[in-house]
Structure 1
Amino acid sequence: MKFFVVGLLSVYFSLYCNALCADDVYFSRLGMSQGLSHPSVMSIYQDELGSFWFGTREGLNRYDQNGIQVFTPEPGNLNSLCGERIRQICGDKNGSVFILTNRGISEYNLKTNAFLTLKDNVCTAISYGYNRLWIAEYNRLFVYKDGCIEKFFQFPDQVNISAIKELKNGCLVVGTFSSGVYYLDKKKRITQLLSDIGRVSVIYEDLKNDLWIGSYTKGLYYFQDTRLVEHYCTAALKGECRLSSDFVRDICEDNNGDIWIGTSLGINRLSEDRQHLYFFDKEGGRDSRKLSDCSVWSLYKDVQGTIWVGTYYGGVNYFNPEIKLYNYLDLQYPGKVKNSASIVGCIIEDEHENLFLCTEGEGVIYYDVKKKQCEQYSIKNPRNQYLFKSNIKAAYYDKNKRILWLGLHFGGLCKFNMSTREYTIFDEYQYSWNAVGDAASVRAIKPYGKDSLLVGTHSGLYLFNTRTNDFTLFSEHLHKYNPFVVDILFDKKQNLWVAGKGLLYFNVKTGEIREYLYDPKKENSLSSNNMEKLFLDS
Structure 2
Amino acid sequence: MKRILFILLLFSVELLQAQPFYFRRYQVEDGLSNNAVLSSLQDKKGFMWFGTKDGLNRFDGYTFKIYRHDPDDPNSLGGSFILCIYEDKDGVLRIGTERGLYTYHPSTETFSHVKGSLKEDVKTMHMDKHHNLWYIAGLGIYKYDVVHKTIKAYPKARFFEATSICEDDQGTLWFSTADGFICSYDAVKDDFKSYYLFNHSRPAPSNWIEKIFYAGKGQILIGTSNQGVKRFNTLTHTYEDVLIYNIDQTEIYARDFVRVSESEVWIATESGIFIVNNIPGKIINLKKQVNDPYSLSDNAIYSFLKDREGGIWATTYFGGISYYAKPYALFEKFFYKKAENSISGNAVREICPDNRGNLWIGTEDAGLNKLNVKTGNISNFKPDGLRTSIINSNIHGLLAVGNELWIGTFEHGLDVMDLKTEKVIRHYNAGTGANDLKSNFIYSFYKTMSGQILIATTKGLYTYNRSKDNFDPVAQVPDYIFYTSIMQDSTGMIWLGTIRDGLYYYHPVTGRKGFYTNDPKNKKSLIDNRVNRVMVDSRKNLWITTESGLCRLNPATHNFDRYTISDGLPSNVTYSIQEDKASNLWISTSKGLFRFNPVNKEFKTFRKSDGLTGDQFNYNSSYKDGDGQMYFGTVNGLIRFNPANFVKDTFIPPVYITGFQVNTKEAAINAKDSPLSQSILTTQSVVLSSTQSSFSIDFAALSYTSPIMTEYAYKMEGIDHDWIYLKQNRKVYFTNLSAGKYRFRVKASNSSGIWNSKETVLDLEIRPPYLASTTALTIYTLILSAMIFFVIREYHKWIERKNARRMAIFENEKEREIYQAKIEFFTNVAHEIRTPLTLIKGPMEKVIKRVSELPDMEKNLRIMNKNTDRLLNLTNQLLDFRKTETSGFSLNFVKANLSETIKDMIEDFQILAEQKDILLELKLQEDRLDAYVDLEAFHKIMSNLIDNALKYGESHTVVELLRDENKADFLKIKVKNDGKIIPYELHDKIFEPFFRAKEAEIRPGTGIGLPLSRALAELHKGQLLLEIDQDGFNIFVLMLPIHQLIEFNLKGKWKKI
- The TM-score range, normalised by the shorter chain, is 0.7 to 0.9
Shift in alpha-carbon separation, 1:517–1:143, aligned structure 2, 3 A: closer
Q: What is the rounded CA distance, in whole Å, between the counterparts of 1:517 and 1:270 in structure 2?
A: 46
**Alignment-derived partner of residue 373 in structure 1:** 377
1:537 matched to 2:535: no
* 1:158 CA drift (Å): 7.0
In structure 1, what residue type is equivalent to 2:123? A
The secondary structure found in structure 1 opposite 2:596 is: coil
Shift in alpha-carbon separation, 1:336–1:494, aligned structure 2, 3 A: same
1:510 matched to 2:508: no
1:278 matched to 2:325: no
Question: Which of 448, 455, 464 is the matching residue for 2:489?
Answer: 448
Q: What is the rounded CA distance, in whole Å, between the counterparts of 1:367 and 1:456 in structure 2?
A: 29
Aligned pairs (5 A) from 1:7-406: 21-22=17-18, 24-92=20-88, 94-118=90-114, 119=117, 121-130=119-128, 131-137=131-137, 138-146=139-147, 148-151=149-152, 153-154=154-155, 156-157=157-158, 159-178=160-179, 180-187=181-188, 188-194=190-196, 198-225=207-234, 226-234=236-244, 245-272=251-278, 276-283=282-289, 285-320=290-325, 324-337=329-342, 340-345=344-349, 347=351, 355-362=359-366, 365-375=369-379, 386=390, 389-392=393-396
Q: What is the rounded CA distance, in whole Å, between the counterparts of 1:52 and 1:353 in structure 2?
A: 45
The secondary structure found in structure 2 opposite 1:254 is: strand
**Alignment-derived partner of residue 879 in structure 2:** none
Q: What is the rounded CA distance, in whole Å, between the counterparts of 1:206 and 1:85 in structure 2?
A: 29
Q: Deviations over 1:93-138 (max 9, x none)?
A: 5432111101001111344433221135114433223333212344
Q: Deviations over 1:447-506 (max 9, x none)?
A: 3234443221215333466789x9x86416669976432233557572554524566664
Equivalent residues of 2:182, 2:196 under 8 A apart: yes
Q: What is the rounded CA distance, in whole Å, between the counterparts of 1:185 and 1:155 in structure 2?
A: 17
In structure 2, what residue type is equivalent to 1:135? Y
Q: What is the rounded CA distance, in whole Å, between the counterparts of 1:371 and 1:435 in structure 2?
A: 45
The secondary structure found in structure 1 opposite 2:22 is: coil
Moved more, 177-186 or 205-214: 177-186
Moved more, 167-176 or 287-296: 167-176
**Alignment-derived partner of residue 494 in structure 1:** 541
Write 1 or 2 for the structure with the bigger share of helix: 2
Q: What is the rounded CA distance, in whole Å, between the counterparts of 1:505 and 1:69 in structure 2?
A: 48
In structure 1, what residue type is equivalent to 2:238? L
The secondary structure found in structure 2 opposite 1:328 is: strand
* 1:259 CA drift (Å): 2.4
The secondary structure found in structure 1 opposite 2:226 is: coil
Shift in alpha-carbon separation, 1:233–1:271, aligned structure 2, 3 A: same
* 1:67 CA drift (Å): 1.3
Q: Deviations over 1:139-182 (max 9, x none)?
A: 34323322623316455447222222233312221122336332
Question: Which structure has the higher relative contact order (CA within 8 Å, separation 6+)?
Answer: 1
- Over aligned residues, Cα RMSD in angstroms? 4.5
The secondary structure found in structure 2 opposite 1:414 is: strand
* 1:92 CA drift (Å): 1.7
* 1:43 CA drift (Å): 0.7
Q: What is the rounded CA distance, in whole Å, between the counterparts of 1:512 and 1:501 in structure 2?
A: 17
1:462 matched to 2:504: yes
Shift in alpha-carbon separation, 1:457–1:144, aligned structure 2, 3 A: farther
In structure 1, what residue type is equivalent to 2:125? S
Equivalent residues of 1:48, 1:94 under 8 A apart: no
In structure 2, what residue type is equivalent to 1:134? W
Equivalent residues of 2:311, 2:325 under 8 A apart: yes
Shift in alpha-carbon separation, 1:159–1:441, aligned structure 2, 3 A: farther
**Alignment-derived partner of residue 530 in structure 2:** 484
Equivalent residues of 1:427, 1:438 under 8 A apart: no
Q: What is the rounded CA distance, in whole Å, between the counterparts of 2:496 and 2:79 in structure 1?
A: 67
Shift in alpha-carbon separation, 1:326–1:527, aligned structure 2, 3 A: closer
In structure 1, what residue type is equivalent to 2:193? T
Moved more, 306-315 or 359-368: 359-368
Q: What is the rounded CA distance, in whole Å, between the counterparts of 1:148 and 1:104 in structure 2?
A: 16
Equivalent residues of 1:243, 1:268 under 8 A apart: no
The secondary structure found in structure 2 opposite 1:291 is: coil
Q: What is the rounded CA distance, in whole Å, between the counterparts of 2:245 and 2:562 in structure 1?
A: 72
Unaligned runs of 5+ in 1: 1-18
The secondary structure found in structure 2 opposite 1:170 is: coil
Q: What is the rounded CA distance, in whole Å, between the counterparts of 2:365 and 2:507 in structure 1?
A: 28
Equivalent residues of 2:144, 2:151 under 8 A apart: yes
Equivalent residues of 1:434, 1:473 under 8 A apart: no
Q: What is the rounded CA distance, in whole Å, between the counterparts of 1:169 and 1:233 in structure 2?
A: 27
The secondary structure found in structure 2 opposite 1:88 is: strand
Equivalent residues of 1:405, 1:413 under 8 A apart: no
* 1:344 CA drift (Å): 1.8
Query: What TM-score do you get using the length of structure 1 for normalisation?
Result: 0.77
Higher Rg: 2
**Alignment-derived partner of residue 899 in structure 2:** none
* 1:364 CA drift (Å): 5.0
- Matched length: 500
Q: Deviations over 1:185-209 (max 9, x none)?
A: 3333432212665322111101334
In structure 1, what residue type is equivalent to 2:50? F
Q: What is the rounded CA distance, in whole Å, between the counterparts of 1:530 and 1:415 in structure 2?
A: 23
Q: Percent identity, aligned pairs only?
A: 23
Shift in alpha-carbon separation, 1:474–1:370, aligned structure 2, 3 A: farther
The secondary structure found in structure 1 opposite 2:285 is: strand
Q: What is the rounded CA distance, in whole Å, between the counterparts of 2:506 and 2:360 in structure 1?
A: 22
In structure 2, what residue type is equivalent to 1:485? V
Shift in alpha-carbon separation, 1:361–1:387, aligned structure 2, 3 A: farther
Query: What TM-score do you get using the length of structure 2 for normalisation?
Result: 0.42
The secondary structure found in structure 2 opposite 1:33 is: helix
Unaligned runs of 5+ in 2: 1-14, 199-205, 411-440, 462-472, 520-524, 578-586, 588-594, 598-1057
Moved more, 252-261 or 492-501: 492-501
The secondary structure found in structure 1 opposite 2:261 is: coil
Question: Which of 394, 417, 442 is the matching residue for 1:411?
Answer: 442
Shift in alpha-carbon separation, 1:46–1:475, aligned structure 2, 3 A: same
Q: Deviations over 1:427-449 (max 9, x none)?
A: 68679998989965543333323
Equivalent residues of 1:219, 1:248 under 8 A apart: yes
Q: What is the rounded CA distance, in whole Å, between the counterparts of 2:251 and 2:368 in structure 1?
A: 42
The secondary structure found in structure 1 opposite 2:346 is: coil
Equivalent residues of 1:214, 1:221 under 8 A apart: yes
* 1:349 CA drift (Å): 7.0
Equivalent residues of 2:102, 2:113 under 8 A apart: yes
**Alignment-derived partner of residue 13 in structure 1:** none
Equivalent residues of 1:124, 1:161 under 8 A apart: no
The secondary structure found in structure 1 opposite 2:56 is: strand
